[in-house]
Structure 1
Amino acid sequence: MQAGLSAGEASARLAADGPNTLPGSGAKPMSRIVLDILREPMFAMLLAAGGIYLLLGDPGEALFLLVAVVAVSALAVVQERRTQRALEALRDLSAPRALVVRGGVQVRIPSRDVVRGDLLVLREGDRIAADGVLVDGQLACDESLLTGESVPREKLPAGVERSAAPAGEEAGADILACTLVARGTGLALVSSTGPRTRVGRIGASMAAAPVHLSPLQAASRRTVRAFAAGGLALAVLLFLLAWQWDGRGLLESLLLGIAFAMAILPEEIPLVLTVFLAMGAWRLSRRRVLTRSLTAIEALGGITVLAVDKTGTLTQNRMEVRELRSAAGDRFVQRRGAVLDDGFHALAEFAQLATPEDPFDPMERAIRAFVGAHLAGTEHVHPGREVARRYALSARLFAMTQAFVLQGDEHLLAAKGAPEAIADLCHLPAERLARIRADVEEMASRGLRVIAVARGRWSGPAWPDGQHAFDYEFLGLVGLMDPPRPEVPAAIAACRGAGVRVVMMTGDHPATARAVARDIGLADAQVLHGAEIDALDDAELCRRMETVDLCARLVPEQKLRLVRALQARGAKVGMTGDGVNDGPALGAADVGIAMGGRGTDVAREAADIVLLDDSFASIVEAIRQGREIDDKLRAALRFIFAVHVPIVALALGPILLHWPVILMPAQIVLFELLIDPLCAILFDADPPAPDLMARGPGGAAMFSGTLVAGGWLQGGGLAAVALAAAALASRLGWTAQEVRTCAFAVLVVGVYLLALHQRRPAARGAGANPWAPHFALGIAAVLGLLLAVAPLRAVAGFAAPTWPMAAVAAAGGAATFLWLRLFSLLWRLHAARDRARV
């Protein structure tokens, strides 16, 4: 292999040419963040209120609102940057990676670090990182992204005979960035990177695909718009009531209308969704689970079926040849120091000849390692031998053949594949077939993956369309072992405890699959064969998949039908895949899960989730995280719906009851400065509930009537307490400032209690939230400053605190606490009655 660039040469060229990235959407600039904030309705309302205060001759209040505008904007910028940093970190993790030769060693690097002169190692399923020229190997590249042609184009090194190209089409040596390797392997010399590539010159953007609104995001947008429209209408009505019915001045009535609109608008919802999903994705990445699409986070917790590929996910993906059986029935078992007898040399030789030179599949790698260990230096090893023709495995024939030139038009054939397929190609008599079938069943029952090997010859100027045209000689069987991962049985049990059904999918023989299923805890799995799937119509397949837990002898194209069959019965499907042909099924699944270590670029780009360690236990952890995020989102949304009720009540109540104004824009801004961090930080830091996985998947829609009603009822209790405190203060003859101060203090304490109350009863003993005491101290400090510092107290419209005011505020906090406890009791009783009816 060529040595490639040294590390120093690569660094110098990267510095000179810049990173290998295409024009696309990078991080949002600060100016864009600020502009988006300025467009927010809350910002416009604050400016309008400040202008009205200036017209009323109250510059102190106007200045306070201006400072509040800066504070609210700064908080929004901090949250936006926090979210963006998480997304940027995820983007760095999800960036395509390339395998290059540096200093004679193959290393995998981010595609952005590929430079001119690098040697790219290309394999089936890779997305090509840069433009270049093929210098070794043979590829077929899908260039439909650039040319619109669906047929892959053959690529051969310059100077190589072009006879392998399809009729009427000349094979080329140029490879293009952003195209896919459909088949083959090769080595390419990079000629241009980044904006200098073909796709860069035509201005294509291969940045992250545009994010489409998920059902949750769409529902949140509808909710916010509905509240905004309703709030605007009610604000206009409140303005008219204050002006015409309550006899207040025009400008004061406008301020009340603006305050009411600010109180009812739940602008925190989009913020909460973005922050929770982004931070959840970041936490998953720290557990070696990469989320390529934030919208997949919400689907993780609702998965009811996991369709899992066996090799590499349930097993260790470290195939080893354990046993050979010759056509004569002789048996060789791989042990330390074992010597391969002459009777097995042809079987091992043709197993290797039927395997690509630089294979991707772990089984094929194991075959090459076995032959290298036992036949190195003999005439049975043929390094660098050129393949003249290749017949790939297909759904109709689970076998593949590679042909090599002997002399003239005479060719040597090497075939391997499923034993039944190879036996069929060899046209064996029934007695011989029965003996082979018995050997296969016996080997597979011990957990071995069994393939058969055959050889043949072909002479002729034209190649036949299929492998059945050849005459083969059956050479024997190869048994390989891929032991289960040690953590899988516990993970399977965790899935069952969480209400998630596991369906194992594999191309292995059914007996091999059953042996692995027994080892991982799927002992009673019902089996469905790939051939049976083809024979079933969609309705019957849906019915069978209600009970089937093991699908064997599959080809990737059949996975799409299985995913759709499961979904047709109402299942939320998470599916794993790693191959080029897994792309459609990964895209069709509710959550597509690709293998980051052994998976192809095609699979990774089609998937929503990428497992960086290829571990099944990581999928279980991803489901746990998805449910945790779902739980926290529900708590935050209940709080948002609850907290706006008392704010609306204190803005509307004084108008209807002819009281002095309690909440004006300044006070509502103070609440916004309290609510946003509570939503975005306190709930995100909440520890998960201990019973998270025991509840079962999914649940009611996020913006369900139950969630909204529960929030409103909790908030309604706080609203009643705050209005009662204001009524008591008025009856005691306190001034308007004292009434406002008392009601505001009750509201602040109640809002904090509301936030703490949103945790499920089962979660409250799960561990302390590290932010809870900090928020309590911060709220107390801010409230103390507002009441203790005379200039701040005057601007906010508060009175100096007194012991009677503190007593009323404390009583209001105690009443709120008791109401929330009573609410929890009544809510649980109501839920229990509903379950009893069911």
Structure 2
Amino acid sequence: MAQFLNFKGDYNGLSEKKASDNLNMYGNNIFTETEDKSFKSYHYLLDPTAVLLLISGLLQIFTLSQYVTGIMCIIMAIAQTVTLCVICQKNNENIRNRTLSAKMKYRVVRDEILQLIPAAGLVPDDIIIVQGGEIVPADAHILEYVGLTVDESRFTGDNTPVQKHDGADPKATGLKKSCIYAGTRVLNGSAVARVVATGEDTYRARQGEKHGKAADPNFSRYEKTCVKLRLPLAVAAILLCVIGTLSQILTGRTDNVTGVIVSACGWLICMFMPFVELYIRMYNMNFVRRAELKGAVIKNLTVPEKLNSLSVLVIDKSAVVAPNTLEVAGIYSKDTDLMTTVTVLACDKDEPTLAEQAFLLNAALGGTDVATVKRNELTAQFPYNDADRIGGNIYNMGGTHLVCVKGAVEKVTGLCNMSPEEMFRITARAAALAKRGLEVWTVAYYIIPEGEEIPKSLYAVQYNYMGLVSFMNATRDMIPLALQGCKRAGVRLVLTSSDSPETASSMGKKIGLSDAGMISGDEIAESTVTGEPLDYKKAEIFCRVNAAQRVDIIEKLKEAGETVATVGYSDSDYDLVAHADLGITSLENTTGSVYEASGLIVRDDNFSSVVEMIKEARQLHRNIKRCIFILLSTLIAFACTSLADMITGYGIITPMLAAVLTAAVIPLCCTGFRNVKSDIKGNMTPSGFISQGKPDKKFFIRSAVCGLICGAISALFLTLAGGVMSAQQVSSVMLTLLTVMTGAMCLVVTDKRTGAFKNGAIPKYMTVTAAVTSAASVLLPYIPFINLLFGFAVPNPLASIAAVLAGVALPAGLQIKKYLNK
């Protein structure tokens, strides 16, 4: 077959049959299994509402001879179970498909065809192709390579890149240079390799790294809380209903034990906590679908919660500056031509940085023959890095060795042969340039005398000062506006830069950040030695920081209780993204390792896309709270109504009435907040409940108070109506009252502002749902035969009107309060 990536060999790979056989023999290439906490379809086979409906239906048929309502209860039970199972199955399928589609896929040769396969599907003897920026998916022996270097620090603790080669290492006892290992990161180059071990057979597994199951990434904090609350609430409801049932029987208020048990089934249905986690999952899935329409990829359902609780967004200078805009602003030297030549020779020959590329382009446009200058023999190379802030090369210039160096002003000038006065003058000039937002280099050289050894370090000689070079970068236009969006969402933006304090300060101020409390990399290093704490929570700009210190900044912010997200694109951002609570990257500009470590992948590297996702997630959080508010308040209201029915003994809350309310009215109303956007333009603070487990007490108090008021209204209405109408008629008007009350409350809580209908804050779905369910609850008892199926009877029209008025009493009061507050 055709060769890959200019490799010399011709690779056919395994056949699909052989790969399938190997997969059956060795298992999936999975190191740590993930817990699956999601509710399965079979969980809903024992749905309490369906079980109670089934019990009450059988009792009505076989003991009370109420065949019509009994059969309807059984039909409702079956419909409830089937509906929940279908919804659950579809949700799980959607989650599974999205999880698989978001997984990193690797290039594998099978049946002479280059395919993309998830890491879990790799098997021994597969031929894989890896390249810079990717995480190695399995242990493999290198067959062919091009400039391959790998980071094996997870095993060795040493960050020094490891040069790899093909062939064999017969004498090697540990990590072999001819192999690549699962979990390590390819820094540069590419390779074709044959997989030799997967899953639990890898070197990573044999080293005793943590085994066991990872937490389910799709099981949100809200869902965990709901699951914990369900059992104690269910026990309380059962005890309450048992007490109510026994009190009616033992006090002699009724001798129809079966009838009381049927009523108890209705009370229990009203008091049982609905499947709140199902609603939460539906809201999260709706958010994921909306994000996909905008070109984003959300890897799991905890990402929306992390965005909700986000308090700090860490960005590097590369996310602030506009792409491809770095250019030379000026060259400051007595001999510009020699200065240009020395600087060209100081640039990395193989992989120049963006600043080096900008200077090389400027030199070429200025008439310098860069190719000819670079054609001299390279004797030694010292690439620039953020930790040392200095870099250079040693060239053999026709028999004379020349050391050319460039880097941070304080680093290079300290190595130059100059007086303190001259050093002060150069430093002051560089500082003046930096305050204008320019990145400044100092350039110097040293001619090695004949007979002197080639220095092994740039710090080993004393240089001749050549001059300064400044670079300018345009910031992205949308950054200041996006910063305002972050502030409205309660997110603090933190800028990290390897530039000088003056340059970093100037850039930060351009986008609206303050340099008050700015922390430098030198201060972080000193703090590490002395133990003196730094105030990371107040700093908005960090200057002169290297890659390791950027990770340290994130860890310190997390220790301070912040929920931290970071934006990363290049392979150097991998550690930063991996250590944050939420890593963010873009589909247009990312590497394999950063993609693997990120939870949110936006369409492009436009920073406003990230801010937009934060605001959307904040809105989702408030919509879920609205849903929970309605669920809690209606649960309390229904419980109060059931208690009133227990005390009076009227038998008004039938299983059918309870099922219609909990299985039809509440789901229709509670799913109506999905498209609410009324909060997105206002101030939206992060969720303390998600980040720190602190419940919003005011929210629960408001829910309880509203539920108790609604419950008091419905209980009073039930008590008064039960004395003048039959139980079936009261059931009819209670359906109207509770349905109208639920729908009206949904409309009121959709928007805190007045004029919600006029400004379109209430979605049409919500308005139509509230109107249709309310109208149906009023008309249903008056439809012949249909009302009998549900156990209702035709009520007095005045009673229905009174039920409607009672249902809108509290919502109308809350609406009036809005106008008064305005």
Compute the TM-score of the two structures, normalised by the length of structure 1.
Answer: 0.79
3-state DSSP of counterpart to 1:379: helix
Aligned residue in 2 for 1:335: none
Aligned residue in 2 for 1:137: 147
Aligned residue in 2 for 1:836: none
Aligned residue in 2 for 1:350: 346
Shift of 1:715: 2.8
Aligned residue in 2 for 1:314: 320
Match of 2:663 among 660, 669, 673: 673
2:342 and 2:404 in contact (8 A); partners too: no
Q: Deviations over 1:486-515 (max 9, x none)?
A: 111112233344554333221112222233
For residues 417 and 50 of structure 2, the distance between their equivalents in structure 1, rounded to whole angstroms, comes to 80
For residues 539 and 247 of structure 1, the distance between their equivalents in structure 2, rounded to whole angstroms, comes to 80
Aligned residue in 2 for 1:158: 166
| Distance 1:812-1:386 versus aligned 2 partners, 3 A rule | farther
1:493 aligned onto 2:484: yes
Aligned residue in 2 for 1:264: 271
Which moves more between the two structures, 607-616 or 810-819? 607-616
Aligned residue in 1 for 2:524: 533
For residues 608 and 221 of structure 2, the distance between their equivalents in structure 1, rounded to whole angstroms, comes to 28
1:771 aligned onto 2:735: no
1:506 and 1:553 in contact (8 A); partners too: yes
Aligned residue in 1 for 2:702: 710
Shift of 1:650: 3.1
For residues 117 and 45 of structure 1, the distance between their equivalents in structure 2, rounded to whole angstroms, comes to 55
Aligned residue in 2 for 1:300: 307
| Distance 1:206-1:322 versus aligned 2 partners, 3 A rule | farther
Match of 1:238 among 227, 240, 244: 244
2:494 and 2:541 in contact (8 A); partners too: yes
1:391 and 1:401 in contact (8 A); partners too: yes
1:122 aligned onto 2:131: yes
Match of 1:223 among 229, 249, 253: 229
Mapping for residues 92-131 of structure 1, pairs under 5 Å: 94-96=102-104, 120=129, 122-123=131-132, 125-128=133-136, 131=140
Shift of 1:234: 1.5
For residues 717 and 645 of structure 1, the distance between their equivalents in structure 2, rounded to whole angstroms, comes to 9
Shift of 1:82: 5.2
* Structure 2, gaps ≥5 residues long: none
Mapping for residues 646-795 of structure 1, pairs under 5 Å: 646-659=637-650, 661-675=651-665, 677-678=667-668, 681-689=671-679, 692-694=681-683, 696-698=685-687, 703-732=695-724, 734-762=725-753, 764=756, 765-776=759-770, 778-779=772-773, 783=777, 786-787=780-781, 790-795=784-789
Aligned residue in 2 for 1:91: 99
Which moves more between the two structures, 64-73 or 166-175? 166-175
For residues 811 and 12 of structure 1, the distance between their equivalents in structure 2, rounded to whole angstroms, comes to 78
1:379 aligned onto 2:369: no
| Distance 1:464-1:604 versus aligned 2 partners, 3 A rule | farther
3-state DSSP of counterpart to 1:378: helix
3-state DSSP of counterpart to 1:756: helix
1:189 aligned onto 2:185: no
For residues 158 and 514 of structure 2, the distance between their equivalents in structure 1, rounded to whole angstroms, comes to 44
1:746 and 1:812 in contact (8 A); partners too: yes
| Distance 1:707-1:14 versus aligned 2 partners, 3 A rule | farther
Q: Deviations over 1:11-44 (max 9, x none)?
A: 99998888998569899999x8321222444444
3-state DSSP of counterpart to 1:554: coil
Q: Deviations over 1:81-113 (max 9, x none)?
A: 554465356435632266999xxxx99998799
| Distance 1:494-1:449 versus aligned 2 partners, 3 A rule | same
Shift of 1:466: 6.1
Q: Percent identity, please.
A: 19
| Distance 1:212-1:272 versus aligned 2 partners, 3 A rule | closer
1:346 and 1:380 in contact (8 A); partners too: no
3-state DSSP of counterpart to 1:185: strand
For residues 451 and 171 of structure 2, the distance between their equivalents in structure 1, rounded to whole angstroms, comes to 18
Shift of 1:474: 5.5
Q: Deviations over 1:734-759 (max 9, x none)?
A: 32221211222222222211222222
For residues 743 and 33 of structure 1, the distance between their equivalents in structure 2, rounded to whole angstroms, comes to 34
For residues 771 and 818 of structure 2, the distance between their equivalents in structure 1, rounded to whole angstroms, comes to 31
Shift of 1:762: 2.0
Mapping for residues 23-42 of structure 1, pairs under 5 Å: 33-42=40-49
2:750 and 2:761 in contact (8 A); partners too: no
3-state DSSP of counterpart to 2:40: helix
Match of 2:76 among 64, 68, 72: 68
Aligned residue in 1 for 2:259: 252
| Distance 1:523-1:613 versus aligned 2 partners, 3 A rule | same
Letter in 2 for 1:122: Q
1:685 and 1:770 in contact (8 A); partners too: no
| Distance 1:77-1:735 versus aligned 2 partners, 3 A rule | same
Letter in 2 for 1:710: R
For residues 608 and 676 of structure 1, the distance between their equivalents in structure 2, rounded to whole angstroms, comes to 33
Shift of 1:485: 0.7
Q: Deviations over 1:697-753 (max 9, x none)?
A: 447778533222322332333333334443444443x32221211222222222211
1:492 and 1:521 in contact (8 A); partners too: yes
2:342 and 2:445 in contact (8 A); partners too: no
1:172 aligned onto 2:177: yes
Shift of 1:656: 0.6
For residues 376 and 344 of structure 1, the distance between their equivalents in structure 2, rounded to whole angstroms, comes to 11
Shift of 1:640: 0.6
Which moves more between the two structures, 202-211 or 343-352? 202-211
Q: CA RMSD in A?
A: 5.1
For residues 466 and 41 of structure 1, the distance between their equivalents in structure 2, rounded to whole angstroms, comes to 74
Q: Deviations over 1:442-481 (max 9, x none)?
A: 4433433233456679999999996534666666544333
Aligned residue in 2 for 1:393: 385
Letter in 2 for 1:185: N
Shift of 1:682: 0.4
Match of 1:48 among 40, 44, 55: 55
| Distance 1:405-1:445 versus aligned 2 partners, 3 A rule | same
| Distance 1:597-1:301 versus aligned 2 partners, 3 A rule | same
Shift of 1:189: 2.0
Match of 2:216 among 198, 210, 216: 210
Aligned residue in 1 for 2:812: 821
For residues 742 and 530 of structure 2, the distance between their equivalents in structure 1, rounded to whole angstroms, comes to 53
1:457 and 1:470 in contact (8 A); partners too: no
| Distance 1:86-1:364 versus aligned 2 partners, 3 A rule | farther
Q: Deviations over 1:794-815 (max 9, x none)?
A: 232111x35x23x322322223
Aligned residue in 2 for 1:835: none
Shift of 1:769: 0.6
1:437 aligned onto 2:446: no
2:134 and 2:593 in contact (8 A); partners too: yes
1:177 and 1:197 in contact (8 A); partners too: no
| Distance 1:539-1:435 versus aligned 2 partners, 3 A rule | closer
